[in-house]
Amino acid sequence: MLKIGVLASGRGSNFQAMIDEGKADNLKVSIECLITDTPACYAIKRAEENGIPAFYINPDDYKTKDLYYHKIAYELKSSGVGLVLLAGFMRVVRKPLLDAYPMRIMNVHPSLLPAFRGLDAQKQALDFGVKVAGCTVHFVDEGVDTGPIIIQAAVSVIQGDNAESLSDRILKLEHKIYPYAVKLFSEGRLRVEGRTVVIKGGVDNNGFLTNPPV
């Protein structure tokens, strides 16, 4: 069974989505640990309620960012983790962790990448006047939201939307497609070829879902 480690900085709603899908027997994985850079984040409570070990690793305890990520990689490897999930982890992952888990770190971002990378993606989309928004699950590389795209899902932008209302609708999609991407990985159905993630067996619309799996 695939062992997963989750990195989170805040409420961890995508972390909870993974837990829920596992309990529903839709996802055959074992969540081995939560690592956070925030001592009082709600994700820790979610871990405690579900018997998942949670580790607060304070970045201020390390002289360099690389040393910090060496520590995270060590803890993940010590837990036997085979896939790392970023669930609202508000830091750019650096080389020591990327080298430890090449194309085995996933992130979900609230835009249809490559559009609107970085923070406040939903506001960026609204400010630009798009008619369609959405979310993307991708493998993590050294850039910010630049790694190979695994799967995407779209929502229509409704007249009168603000960043909060659009974010809420996108988040519901995140909770569907992120576990689905992990499921594909756990079944050995993902292969990275350059910038392209090939999905063995295919996915509706080649990885762009207007009706994501529940």
The residues assigned a catalytic role are: 109
Contact in structure between 84 and 5 (CB atoms under 8 Å)? yes
DSSP three-state, residue 135? strand
Residue 51 C-alpha from the chain's centroid:
21
d(CA 3, CA 16): 16
Task: Provide the sign of the torsion angle of the four alpha carbons 118, 122, 123, 127, taken in this order.
Answer: positive
Contact in structure between 197 and 149 (CB atoms under 8 Å)? yes
Q: Which residues pair with 190 in a beta bridge?
A: 199
Q: What are phi and psi of 207, to 5 degrees?
A: 95, 5
